[in-house]
Amino acid sequence: MTKKIPLIAHDLKKLYTGFLIAAVVLFAVTSILTEFNIFTLISNGDAFWSFLTEDFLLPALPKASRIPGVLSSVVVTLALAMSATTVAAILAFFVSLFGSEKVSPFPRFAKVVRGFATFLRNIPALVWAFILFSSLGIGTGVGFVALCITSFAFMVRAFVETMEDVSQDCVESLQAVGATFPQRVAQAILPSCLSGFLSWFLYCVEVNIRASTIVGMVGGGGVGLTLFSYIKSFQYDVALSIILLVAVMVIVVDQITARLRKEILK
């Protein structure tokens, strides 16, 4: 037997080979463009290593008098994420009712609502923060608005999709009994989508905990700003302990929300 029996179709095999070649070429081209070179990283390894061991390690605690301030800044970050997500979720619920052709009383405008949300969402929270800081000045309130805008836009999309998945049938049956739009919302859409909405809300809290740290760094306050001020004053060892603190905070919140989501979707 000279000819091997192929396991997959010939065309498919050619396609896979093509993809592999394309991926390699793409890597080569992009590496050249970004001037990334694994060897510079290795040759500069010493500097990097000494920075890591001498400046960063071991993590040091900030001065005792500063500790309550650092902890309260963590609370500010958590509060920022929670409140921004909550306000955004409430607004997103009302807007998303008009973003689904199947639910909205004005189906023709559904596309406009979704398009608007998509536009807002595709601008990252960090960019919103910079835009708002330049126009309104820095502060936690402005960070709040920046987080609110992106999570609002994200939740509008997520809520619309949840509603289209879940409530099509019961909306139709409530239409048939002669229910008004507010009745349909309160008696069919809300009860059947609530668990889905809450799950997306908790996911958004998770995302916003991370985002609020970043937004804080550029002027939104909270633990991000504290961290940034230690980095700027070259106290890298203290910065490291704050980074660890942020990591612990994110992990704890992730665990809690993950468990809650699992409970809710049961």
Rounded CA separation 144/86 (Å): 11
Smallest gap, in angstroms, from Cβ of residue 177 to another protein?
Answer: 5
Residue 99 CB coordination number (10 Å): 25
Smallest gap, in angstroms, from Cβ of residue 155 to another protein?
Answer: 20
Cβ-based neighbours of 13, under 8 Å, separated by 6 or more: 6
Question: String of b and e for 62-85 (b: at least 16 CB within 10 Å)?
Answer: beeeeeeebeebbebbbebbebbb
Rounded CA separation 82/211 (Å): 12
Task: Return the number of the residue (76 or 174) whose C-beta is nearest another protein.
Answer: 174
Name residue 158's amino acid: A
Smallest gap, in angstroms, from Cβ of residue 193 to another protein?
Answer: 9
Smallest gap, in angstroms, from Cβ of residue 160 to another protein?
Answer: 19
List interacting residues with another protein (CB under 8 A).
Answer: 169-170, 172-180, 182-183, 185-188, 191-192, 194-195
Task: Return the number of the residue (175 or 229) whose C-beta is nearest another protein.
Answer: 175
